[in-house]
Structure 1
Amino acid sequence: MAVLEFKSYSVNELSYKKNPLYQENSQNISIDPKVEVKNTLKQEKIIVTVNVHIGSQSDKQTPFMVTASISGEFIYHENEDHNQIGVDTLIKKNAVAILYPYVRSLVSNITTASNQFPALILPTINVTQVLDENGKSQEVAD
């Protein structure tokens, strides 16, 4: 059995808003994804929420604003953690890495469905590094 077991995920929010201020030109579109993570610990069950915010309604170089939020349910099997990696490290390095591709897919799908711009495919990222740089990981214990 795995130390961190992925049970399921659900979509909390998915929104697309066209930016009426966008001025189309030959320059690259300004897209700077913001990634936030929130962890909720309930005994052995862990709920990890990944929020991604892209674009703006006020930047003339951004054609849209997209928000995607998903929560994944994980179970930490402490007795299987023979290398003593710990729940915090597993959440940060594994749980978020498992959930991020689902967020990427949601963003690609909703931007394709807009039928105005090519699909936005978020780059693969080192989620741990991004969270460390942004200081955006939060833990909530119940």
Structure 2
Amino acid sequence: MNENVKSVLQIKHFVFDELSFKRKGFRQPDVDELPFEVETTVRKRGVNDYLVSLMITVSKENEFDASVRITGYCEIDDNTPNLEVILRENASAILYPYARAEMTLLTSQPETSSVVLPVINMHEMMRNAKTSVPADSAKET
């Protein structure tokens, strides 16, 4: 591979650490969009070795609470410029589609409308220092 196009960030493994679905009641009338939160955590494990966790939480009043946490085992040179930004934004952007798909599967329960999270711009979300996506963002199907 051409070294000029190789990413400085390598995700060696990723796993779902937590999948949670708690029913609070029976199916409620559908709403066009549900609020959801996205939280990113970066932890250093060793030399050039980091864990990046992405937690997504969705709640539908009187129906359910659901959450998905995925962790990527990342390798990146500790001296890489913008290390924190690359880990927080780029790794999260790579992990998000997997968490998004898992949230849809998790909420595809009897008597529940499945949740399809929107595609988001992780860079803009982190740049604006938001830890959650504004309300009216997740779609029900």
Look up the equivalent residue of 1:92 and give its one-letter code. Answer: R
Return the offset for 1:89.
Answer: 1.9
Q: Distance in 2 between matches of 1:50 and 1:3?
A: 20
More strand by share: 2
1:128 is matched with: 123
Q: Aligned residue for 2:113?
A: 118
Q: Which has the higher helix share?
A: 1
Runs of 4 or more above 4 Å deviation: none
Q: Is the 8 A contact 1:51 1:70 kept in 2?
A: yes
1:12 to 13, 17, 31: 17
Q: Is the 8 A contact 1:35 1:131 kept in 2?
A: no
RMSD value over aligned CA atoms?
2.4
Structure 1 length-normalised TM: 0.75
Gaps in structure 2 of 5+ consecutive residues: 1-5, 132-141
Structure 2 equivalent of residue 32 of structure 1: 35
Aligned to 1:87: 83
Structure 1 unpaired stretches of 5+: 137-142
Cα deviation, residue 46, structure 1: 1.1
Which residue does the alignment assign to 2:135? none
Offset at residue 117 of structure 1 (A): 2.5
8 A contact 2:27–2:111 mirrored in 1:
no
* Maintained 8 Å contact 1:30/1:55: no
Residue 51 in structure 1 maps to residue 18 in structure 2:
no
